[in-house]
Amino acid sequence: MKKAARQSGAGRPLAKAEGLIGKAGAETMLSINKGGHEARRPPDRQFETTELLDVVAFLEDFEHELSDALSVFAPDPYVRMTLHLIRSHLEAKTVTPTSLIGASGVPYATATRRIGEMIDNGLIDQRPRTRSGKTFSMHPSEKLLESWMQLSGRLQRLAETRLAKSPNGSAGQEYYFGGSYLAAQSIPPLQVLAEPLRLAGGVRVLVHGDPTFMVMDNLKRRFEQVVGTDIYQRAFSIDRLHQEALKNAERKASRYDIIAVDLPWIGEFAEKNVLMPLDEALDIARLDPADFHTAGWKAAHWGGRPYGVPAQTTPELLFYRKDIFAEAGIEAPATTADVIKAAKSLHDPARGFYGIAWNAARGTALGHTFLMTMADFGQPVIDIPPEAGGFKTDRLKDGVYHPMIDSEAGMAAAEYLMELLKYSPPYILSMSWYERIRPYAAGEIAMAYGYTLLAPYFELDPTSPAHGQTGFLPHPAGPEATPVAPVGGYVMGIPRNIAPERIKAAAEALIVFTSAGAQKLYVENGSRTNPRYSVAADPEVRRASPIFEAVDQMSWRDELQFWPRPPIPEIGEIFQICGEELHDMLRGITPPKTALQNAQKRAEQALRGQRKT
């Protein structure tokens, strides 16, 4: 960042700028005025803080809608960074250069240049965070705040003029100004269907045996009351679920009405006719697509068509013990180097305490870890073209790809895992999925990579040392990369070979199971996954766990991404290949370069049978 940047140091508190947000906003801003001076309170205000936040939310929503509607639309980093600055300012949240770069949606170098331009144009002030003056927090300048106030007024007048005659009336205005998100209206309970579903033998559902779907099973009677018929649910482990779904597709008529599908399987299941395109079964508008986290909704598509409805949007995060970090005087890790440093500092095997836990078991588990770790260093496992905010994923169906395993990012990822190995439990090479979270919940681990769906292991156990002491972060990034929270989870879809007379009722059940009311019910009964913005904004959901607000903020910052595990048909084989070759590396059988070369060759063979463009 440029040294000649505008600063608002101890002698120049942002008094006037703080005054612009009104009395309540000024009182909030007192808590972050590091200069030691009380902010002045204005005699009059122009807007309430919530009104200003409404405008921010409206522009954020509008940009997301444009991105979904127009494939050629490119996010504007100036707009995204301005929105991030204004929102954080009004909510009294600290903005660092790193978080501002993350909010920009563009590569690191580009974002850094844009920040420099905004500083030079007097739009951003920097405030020293330490006595040395070497680190700064970022703030909207007085010039930017004054411009924002004027823009807010103009936008409201334009909306009242152009949209006041909306057929939705006041409800429509509420949507356009982010009311459904920020007003935090409580989602009403599920209501029974006007007509019970007519399905011989009831609704038959195939799911993964994870905490969220088990919550759904526990609520079976409640859902049976809603849909008006019996529900029969079969649950399998991830590998057996994959096998059963493929086996079911070979049957003359599907054994199931709805099946749960892991996000990386979308391409394979679409190409192999395992799933029916949803637009053949129901009106997509009934799902309220704009309410889903963008990454989760896009990940359900193949060739531009949705093949499932997000039932769980569960990013893999870095869980860390806030109390232990605070006691040791260590800040939350922002980079991969920070993770290694923290793990090394906290690792104490003599007393049975370890620095970090992660998926390192041979095969699929380690394969997932390696692909996500490559993403931490800015590279997907195949040569997807880059775009603002990540990599282009909407044309995966049409491409012929080359693996990028034996690359600079691949080597950086391999070396990072070798370093993590030093500060991991002795049984790390057999650790996968649930095994990495159980010792964390038991207080034996300082940090753990894990999906949000696993958080109940410590969030719902008041005896766990990690209960109420866990911080949630996107994956810390490597050099020249930005933080990413790789999106995992499941969609629920309709089998292609379902009996025609069952399609309509299956679609109605699918809408119920994935509705906002159902998602809130899952949360209230222990789930820690959520695919919808409206559910994350529900005040009761927010009280249930800080994880929902954390993930929601990651989504707004575009840190939720599914390109780390591109859902091409061959992705399952690539997981297995990487998980085998990298496991040999971690065991010391092969050096990193050899492991990457072996995985590269095997992945090239797997991709040779790709579709031709």
Take residue 80 and report the two structure tokens written for it: 């995204």
pLDDT value of position 91: 67
Residue 493 and residue 259 in contact, taking contact as beta carbons nearer than 8 Å: yes
Asked whether residue 502 is assigned to any structural domain, the reply reads no
pLDDT value of position 30: 26
Low-confidence residues of the chain: pLDDT under 70:
1-51, 71-72, 90-92, 127, 129-133, 160-185, 609-613
pLDDT value of position 610: 57
Q: Residue 437 belongs to a domain with what CATH number?
A: 3.40.190.10
Q: Could you identify the residue written with the tokens 């979270």?
A: 437
Asked whether residue 183 is assigned to any structural domain, the reply reads no
pLDDT value of position 390: 84
Asked whether residue 184 is assigned to any structural domain, the reply reads no
Asked whether residue 420 is assigned to any structural domain, the reply reads yes
The number of helices, as runs of H, and strands, as runs of E, in the chain is 27, 15
pLDDT value of position 128: 72
Crossing angle of helices 220-227/503-513, nearest 10°?
130
pLDDT value of position 353: 97
**Euclidean distance between CA atoms 291 and 297, whole angstroms:** 9
Q: At which of 120, 144, 161 does a domain end?
A: 161
Q: Are strands 203-208 and 258-262 parallel, antiparallel or unpaired?
A: parallel
Asked whether residue 132 is assigned to any structural domain, the reply reads yes
**Euclidean distance between CA atoms 404 and 448, whole angstroms:** 26
Q: At which of 108, 133, 161 does a domain end?
A: 161
**Euclidean distance between CA atoms 563 and 260, whole angstroms:** 20
Residue 153 and residue 46 in contact, taking contact as beta carbons nearer than 8 Å: yes
Q: Which residue range forms the structural domain that includes residue 450?
A: 314-487+563-607
**Euclidean distance between CA atoms 187 and 356, whole angstroms:** 38
**Euclidean distance between CA atoms 26 and 18, whole angstroms:** 6
How many domains would you assign to the chain?
2
Residue 276 and residue 497 in contact, taking contact as beta carbons nearer than 8 Å: no
How many Cβ atoms sit within 10 Å of the Cβ of residue 570? 20
Asked whether residue 430 is assigned to any structural domain, the reply reads yes
pLDDT value of position 183: 42
Asked whether residue 418 is assigned to any structural domain, the reply reads yes
Q: At which of 143, 161, 179 does a domain end?
A: 161
Asked whether residue 263 is assigned to any structural domain, the reply reads no
pLDDT value of position 129: 62
Going by the DSSP 8-state scheme, the letter that residue 435 receives in this structure is G
How many Cβ atoms sit within 10 Å of the Cβ of residue 198? 12
pLDDT value of position 174: 40
Q: Residue 138 belongs to a domain with what CATH number?
A: 1.10.10.10
